[in-house]
Amino acid sequence: MKIRMLALVLCLAPSIWAAQEGPNDPNATVKKPLEARILDPAGSLETLEFVKGGPVELKKGNLYVIEFWATWCAPCRVSIPHLTKVQKTFKDKKVTVIGISNETREKVEPFVKEKAETMDYVVAIDPERKIGEKYMTAYKQNGIPTAFIVDKELRVVWVGHPMADLDTVLEKVIKGEFDAKAYAEARKRRGEMDKKAMAAFRAYFAALEKADGAKEAAEQGAIILENGSDQALNAFAWRVLTEVEAGKQDYPLALKAATKANDLTQGKNAAIVDTFALALFKNGKVREAIQAQEAALKLAAGDEAMEAEFKSRLEEFKKAQQEP
């Protein structure tokens, strides 16, 4: 699955997470789950076992990105280089990134050693699953990877996917410009729009399977364009560009979706710029596609997998430009 698709859907595993968080003894008394809201005090990390770096104790005046992940989770693996980049970028701003797994040391330690500098931040395990309860359970998060930002006052100010707007929010938190309540309200509205977009996303591709589904697909496409987030628009455009069978690809629609996604992210997201470049190419705008792909390649600097993929596509575009 492509990176741009991974960013759209979390590695959802609510049944697995819930089962691991609960007591092993079926006759044990089940505690009432903790409930927390944005701006509540962050839970301590005192029961963690550190596999790489650490130990870490939450201290006022510092900031923390606390991420929950697992070795088996594909999107978690995709987010690892990004979290390393976040740690390096914000290290001088007293930011500490901590990745927490509720797997065993025997599972996590070899994985971390293999990743080496690619996973260059603090990594810990939560053997008693108490930290997961304070964060994942308390904030009703069922999918991983999920990250939490803890501010200088040791309050949880943001919860989300580490490949979403973590960097942007963190910059605002560092500057003291982040309004957590306003953001939470806006995200609630965004969530309602996302539901509409995702329903339309499924309906669009279902309509393409019908012999007379062109009109319905067009209607659903319009809903996606109106309601889709940058990630949803990006994933939609990519699927139209790369997976829809010949004769049914709506390249102009894909370009509209990719353009909007690129505008929403101000041309700063490597994967989204890459999709935008391909949409331009598929619509016959080869020169513009090359320019966009070169921009995507610059944004992907340091990520070997993305760089290799983007270079290959750039070569394809340049070859097409040279052909008569």
Residue 145 and residue 244 in one domain: no
Helix axes 286-299, 270-282, angle to 10 degrees: 170
- pLDDT greater than 90 at residue 8: no
Residue 195 and residue 318 in one domain: yes
Residue 147 and residue 203 in one domain: no
Residue 190 and residue 168 in one domain: no
In a domain, 45, yes or no: yes
Reported as a single tens digit per residue, the pLDDT across 145-194 is: 999 999 999 999 999 899 888 999 999 999 999 999 888 888 788 888 98
Identify the pLDDT of residue 218. 95
In a domain, 27, yes or no: no
Domain count, the chain: 2
Residue 41 and residue 103 in one domain: yes
In a domain, 146, yes or no: yes
CATH of the domain at 268: 1.25.40.10
Residue 202 and residue 245 in one domain: yes
CATH of the domain at 100: 3.40.30.10
Would you say 154 and 58 are in contact if contact means Cβ atoms under 8 Å apart?
A: yes
Phi-psi region of 141 (alpha: psi -120 to 50; beta: other; left: phi over 0): beta
Residue 135 and residue 226 in one domain: no
- pLDDT greater than 80 at residue 5: no
Please identify, among 177, 204, 230, the residue that sits at the C-terminal boundary of a domain: 177
Residue 194 and residue 318 in one domain: yes
DSSP reduced 3-state for 155: strand
Would you say 270 and 305 are in contact if contact means Cβ atoms under 8 Å apart?
A: no
Range(s) of the domain holding residue 248: 184-322
**Which residue would you say has higher pLDDT here, 128 or 84?**
84
Identify the pLDDT of residue 16. 40
Identify the pLDDT of residue 191. 81
Task: Provide mean pLDDT across the span 19-47.
Answer: 63
Task: Provide mean pLDDT across the span 50-77.
Answer: 94
Please identify, among 177, 199, 224, the residue that sits at the C-terminal boundary of a domain: 177
In a domain, 53, yes or no: yes
- pLDDT greater than 80 at residue 26: no
* Confidence band, pLDDT 50/70/90 cuts, at residue 35: confident
In a domain, 171, yes or no: yes
- pLDDT greater than 70 at residue 93: yes
In a domain, 247, yes or no: yes
Helical ranges in 126-229 per DSSP H: 130-132, 166-175, 180-208, 214-227
Mean pLDDT, the chain, integer: 87
- pLDDT greater than 80 at residue 307: yes
- pLDDT greater than 60 at residue 7: no
Residue 173 and residue 63 in one domain: yes
Percentage of the residues of the chain whose pLDDT score is greater than 70: 89
- pLDDT greater than 50 at residue 24: no
Reported as a single tens digit per residue, the pLDDT across 254-301 is: 999 999 999 999 998 999 999 999 999 999 999 999 999 999 999 988
Identify the pLDDT of residue 114. 93
Identify the pLDDT of residue 324. 67
Residue 156 and residue 227 in one domain: no
Task: Provide mean pLDDT across the span 67-81.
Answer: 92
Non-local CB neighbours of 186 within 8 Å, separated by 6+ positions:
none
Single pTM value for the model: 0.61
- pLDDT greater than 60 at residue 243: yes
In a domain, 204, yes or no: yes
Please identify, among 177, 200, 225, the residue that sits at the C-terminal boundary of a domain: 177
In a domain, 301, yes or no: yes
Identify the pLDDT of residue 304. 85
Residue 94 and residue 210 in one domain: no
Residue 42 and residue 121 in one domain: yes
Identify the pLDDT of residue 34. 63
Helix axes 230-242, 270-282, angle to 10 degrees: 40
